[in-house]
């Protein structure tokens, strides 16, 4: 499975080298490339990626300001000519710290470290039975068996459960990362469903109780692959 990534660097040559290294690494998929941290922050507020290859010094906002300011939690791999900020970077839980000029062997080692972290996180999620969400200044426990589906609503998602609905500030990609893939499936850009609550599937729609949920054309093939069909 490919790992989505982003390059954020104001130096064109450095971006080109990072882009070439990503193309050489079969498990990495470049989704975004930015020449400044402000553009990157705007993108990350709407579309999460797994790994960000990030320069430190950039005009307007530096790399550490970006790390502190985004709501998502991608793996961060710093790329900078300055060695003196490594301690500060690791204090903010960056995955790795690459000193320019970049070398592919060192780049690959950092990418593999990010992949191990991502795989470890997914394994922990698969072993969990619930998720905690902030609601009314409290952390509310929601059992996965009671979560029917998740619906996108602007910058929020609605968790439709057996008892009540909960509105959470998150992206669909962000919430999907915290749900076990063995139970939950993205069937539409606006819907994630619990496959254990499906009544039936007809054409491009899923019936779940009284709710009919559309299946997006780009999601149908991957969705059908995870179902146990005869």
Mean pLDDT over the full length of the chain: 91
**Is residue 117 predicted with pLDDT exceeding 90?**
yes
- Domains, in order of start, for the chain: 3-126 (3.40.50.2300), 130-226 (2.40.50.1020)
Q: How confident is the model at residue 171 (pLDDT cuts 50, 70, 90)?
A: confident
CB under 8 Å, gap of 24 or more: what pairs does 79-87 form? Answer: 79/9, 79/14, 79/18, 79/53, 79/54, 79/55, 80/55, 80/56, 82/56, 82/57, 85/56
Helix H segments across the chain? 12-24, 37-44, 63-69, 86-91, 104-127, 172-176, 217-226
Q: How confident is the model at residue 191 (pLDDT cuts 50, 70, 90)?
A: very high
Q: How confident is the model at residue 103 (pLDDT cuts 50, 70, 90)?
A: very high
Q: How confident is the model at residue 163 (pLDDT cuts 50, 70, 90)?
A: confident
Q: How confident is the model at residue 230 (pLDDT cuts 50, 70, 90)?
A: low
**Is residue 206 predicted with pLDDT exceeding 80?**
yes
The whole-number average pLDDT for the span 202-229 is 91
3-class DSSP string for 167-195: EEECCHHHHHCCCCCCCEEEEECCEEEEH
Q: Mean pLDDT check: name the lowest of 4-8, 88-92, 122-126.
A: 88-92
Q: Mean pLDDT check: name the lowest of 44-48, 189-193, 197-201, 211-215.
A: 44-48
More confident residue, 223 or 71: 223
**Is residue 1 predicted with pLDDT exceeding 80?**
no
């Amino acid at each position: 499975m490919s790992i989505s990534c982003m390059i954020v660097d104001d130096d064109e040559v450095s971006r080109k080298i990072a882009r070439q290294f990503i193309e050489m690494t079969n498990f990495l998929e470049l989704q975004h490339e930015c020449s400044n941290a402000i553009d990157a922050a705007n993108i990350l507020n709407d579309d999460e990626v797994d790994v960000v290859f990030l320069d430190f010094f950039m005009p307007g906002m530096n790399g550490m300001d970006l790390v502190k300011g985004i709501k998502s939690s991608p793996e961060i791999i710093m790329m900078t000519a300055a060695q003196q900020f490594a301690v500060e970077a690791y204090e903010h839980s960056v995955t790795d710290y690459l000193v320019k000029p970049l070398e592919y062997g060192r780049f690959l080692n950092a990418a593999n470290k990010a992949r191990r972290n991502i795989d470890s996180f997914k394994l922990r999620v698969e072993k969990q039975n619930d998720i905690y969400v902030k609601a009314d200044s409290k952390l509310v426990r929601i059992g996965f068996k009671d979560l029917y589906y998740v619906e996108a609503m602007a910058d929020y998602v609605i968790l439709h459960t057996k008892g009540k609905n909960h509105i959470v500030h998150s992206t669909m990609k962000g919430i999907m990362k915290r749900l076990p893939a063995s139970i939950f499936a993205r069937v539409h850009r606006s819907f994630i469903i619990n496959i254990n609550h499906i009544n039936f599937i007809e054409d491009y729609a899923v019936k779940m109780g009284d709710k009919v949920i559309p299946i997006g054309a780009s999601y149908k093939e991957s969705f059908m692959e995870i179902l146990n069909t005869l």
